[in-house]
Amino acid sequence: MPIDRDSLRAFLATVHPYDALPPETVEALLPAFRPLSLAAHRSVYTMDQPLEGLYLIHSGAVAVTDRNGVQISALGPRNSFGERGLLRDGRAVTAAETTADSLLLVLSRDAFLKLVETQPAVTKFFDRTRPARPKRADLATSRVETLMATTPLTCPPETTVQKAAQMMAERHVSSICITAGDALKGIATIRDLSGKVVGGGLPFDTPITDVMTANPLTLPPSAIGSDVLHMMMERRIGHVPIACDDRLVGIITQTDLTRFQAMTSAELVSEIAHAPDADAMARATARIPQLLVQLVAAGNRHEVVTRLITDIADTATRRLLTLAETKLGPAPVPYLWAACGSQGRQEQTGVSDQDNVLILHDSFTEDMRPYFTDLAAEVTKGLDTCGYVFCPGDMMASAPRWCQPLSTWRTYFRNWIGKPNPEAQMLASVMFDLRPIGGDPTLLQDLQNETLDGAAKNSIFVAHMVSNSLKHTPPLGLLRGFATIRSGEHKNQIDLKHSGVVPVVDLGRVYALQGRLTAVNTRARLEAAIAAGVLSASGGQDLLDAYDLIAETRLEHQAALVKAGEAPNNYLAPATLSDFERSHLRDAFVVVKSLQSALGHGKGMLG
């Protein structure tokens, strides 16, 4: 079925992104299109064959399937397909077949790639994986490894305070790290020397270990500048050593930081860290929605925004623990307050409830329970006052089931892994996201490693976890539409949390289980899965890009609601999006569905 030049020009004028191209560019492009007529139920191309070019449907219908034969798109006129393969290595990553008599317009591969390289509108529409122009670096988005001093001043434990002071003076620095080999043992600052040595009248041959802060707080190089600032303001410290696997690799001081974009969140952290009670903290946390607006408006990536917002919840939790211990007295045995859910993964947005547990030292006895019951009640009620509402499923440390000694927690995980019924799958999924917040973090470290090891070895449990991860599906409908909610308060909307973000969270958790990866944050899990070979580089990058788009769409939606004077939520009406936004959001859901399909068919690595 031929198509003349004028008809082709008129048709392209109705299709984005060609409608945004200069007339002379469109005119030069017309000869690069080849018409292809196919009857119904004919193959357009099969998996892994070289692609002729980009396919644009003029009339008819096409079904696109993944490598497992699962249909992921039903396309009609003005829809394009084949771009993912062209932008990789020119080979198809899906299969396509007509479902009605169709006229396709095939834009040659060379012409398409030239358009992507030279026309911003085409680049933006087809190549969403291409990184945006880098912004000016700021504290909120800069990784610690780019901010830290990489040659911190160090000395061995036997060094005297006089020698340490001389070394600091020679280097013109205000701190010295005490190390044994590469292992960090402590840190001493000018303030320590002046206050403890000079002020305390200690002799100059006093070992530096007598005045140092032993086992100081550290951060990894992968942290961001705001993590440093928040730690400094909450703990009232001016120096943060940077360590990787207990090995000192750098240091950051207050003079290394400018407060820039993160200042707003840092002010909230400082205010909460020194608040006298939960009501005062609540006045600070009430400003979180406006902080969300500011962070999104500044163009911060979603993982930065959620990290900053989660830092506030972490600080609130630790402050409430301190206030509770001040009221109740010191704990009778060591304990760990850990968060799961979005706080555990450092993925909180403007809408968050609380999910937390208490892990107690095995020296715990039942006569101590009243203390921890009161401690949990003080903290969970305080969090509720601060806007972190009680968990509807009672997944909180105030529930006796989730306030237990370490040995009981080991039994919990052992039973969940050994008998993976639906409740066990759900609980294991939640508990795999545990992260230490306050107390003794070592109570979780061995438990997490033991659990990952045992779970990964149990193929039946892994299979159940895979099945459980496929219960949340992307909201894909036919004809490049969305499967929206059909009735009720959120009719004609999609749930960007349970149908958008959660499917990727579930995938990340399974990949972490398969690879015995300790990361808890979803994006960190996906990156670790790619590095470990659990997820292929190409499939993993597709999933990262899809997750970024879905998560950022969710944050932008919440910010828009706050700006409109409404409470943030996760329900988005696709009709409020532009054609461009709808197209790319749906493409992101297609990627997630493809990875789910691959996982469900026992193919964790999607090429």
**Please, which residues bridge with residue 177 across strands?**
154, 187
The half-sphere exposure of 480 on its side-chain side, counting CA atoms within 13 A, is 18
CB contact at 8 A, 219 and 228: yes
Q: What sign does the dihedral 520-526-528-529 (CA atoms) show?
A: positive
The pLDDT value given to residue 478:
58
CA 53, CA 206: separation in Å to the nearest integer?
Answer: 75
Two structure tokens written together for 95? 């299969």
Give the DSSP H or E segment for 81. Answer: strand 80-81
Q: Is 386 exposed, middle or buried (0-12, 13-18, 19+ CB in 10 A)?
A: buried
DSSP string, 226-238: HHHHHHHHHHT-S
Which residues, 6+ apart, have CB-to-CB distance to 391 below 8 Å? 341, 353, 354, 355
Q: Give the closest residue to 477 by CA, choosing from 452, 463, 494.
A: 494
Amino acid at 15: V
Cα–Cα distance list, 299 to 467, 546, 555 (Å) = 36, 18, 11
Which residues, 6+ apart, have CB-to-CB distance to 229 below 8 Å? 139, 257, 259, 262, 266, 269
DSSP string, 321-348: HHHHHHHH-S-SS-EEEEE-HHHHTT--
Two structure tokens written together for 148? 């830290």
CA 467, CA 509: separation in Å to the nearest integer?
Answer: 12
Which residues, 6+ apart, have CB-to-CB distance to 192 below 8 Å? 211, 212, 213
CB contact at 8 A, 140 and 80: no
CA 39 to chain centre: 45
Q: Give the closest residue to 68 by CA, choosing from 47, 49, 39.
A: 47
Q: Give me the torsion for CA of 442, 447, 449, 452, rounded to 10°.
A: -150
Give the DSSP H or E segment for 37. Answer: strand 33-38
Q: What sign does the dihedral 209-210-215-217 (CA atoms) show?
A: negative
Going by the DSSP 8-state scheme, the letter that residue 568 receives in this structure is -
pTM (whole model) above 0.85: no
DSSP string, 171-189: HT-SEEEEEETTEEEEEEE
Give the DSSP H or E segment for 249. Answer: strand 247-253
Q: How many CB atoms lie within 10 A of CB 458?
A: 15
At residue 152, the 3 state secondary structure works out as: coil
Q: Give me the torsion for CA of 109, 112, 118, 120, rounded to 10°.
A: -150
Two structure tokens written together for 598? 């691959």
The pLDDT value given to residue 263:
45
Cα–Cα distance list, 101 to 37, 43, 58, 384, 537 (Å) = 8, 12, 11, 59, 37
Two structure tokens written together for 594? 């493809």
The half-sphere exposure of 300 on its side-chain side, counting CA atoms within 13 A, is 28
Amino acid at 262: A
CA 468, CA 433: separation in Å to the nearest integer?
Answer: 15
Q: For the chain of 607 residues, list the mean pLDDT of each consecutive stretch of 10.
A: 86 90 92 94 91 93 83 82 85 90 94 90 71 49 76 94 95 94 93 90 94 93 86 91 89 71 72 96 93 83 93 96 97 97 94 93 97 98 96 94 97 91 85 94 89 89 89 79 89 94 95 91 94 90 93 94 89 87 87 89 53
Q: Give the closest residue to 47 by CA, choosing from 597, 469, 526.
A: 597
Write phi, then psi, for 581 (nearest 5 degrees): -65, -40
Cis amide linkage into residue 134, ω under 30° from 0: no
The half-sphere exposure of 559 on its side-chain side, counting CA atoms within 13 A, is 19
Residues comprising the chain, all counted: 607
Q: Long-range CB contacts (< 8 A, 24+ apart) of 581-584?
A: 581/553, 582/482, 583/125, 583/480, 584/125, 584/128, 584/549
Q: Which residue has the tokens 């989660």?
A: 310
Q: Which residue has the tokens 């703990």?
A: 235
CA 84 to chain centre: 24
Q: Which residue has the tokens 């306030």?
A: 403
Q: Give the closest residue to 155 by CA, choosing from 185, 122, 177.
A: 177
Going by the DSSP 8-state scheme, the letter that residue 56 receives in this structure is E
The pLDDT value given to residue 1:
58
The half-sphere exposure of 190 on its side-chain side, counting CA atoms within 13 A, is 9
The pLDDT value given to residue 261:
44
Give the DSSP H or E segment for 271. Answer: helix 263-273
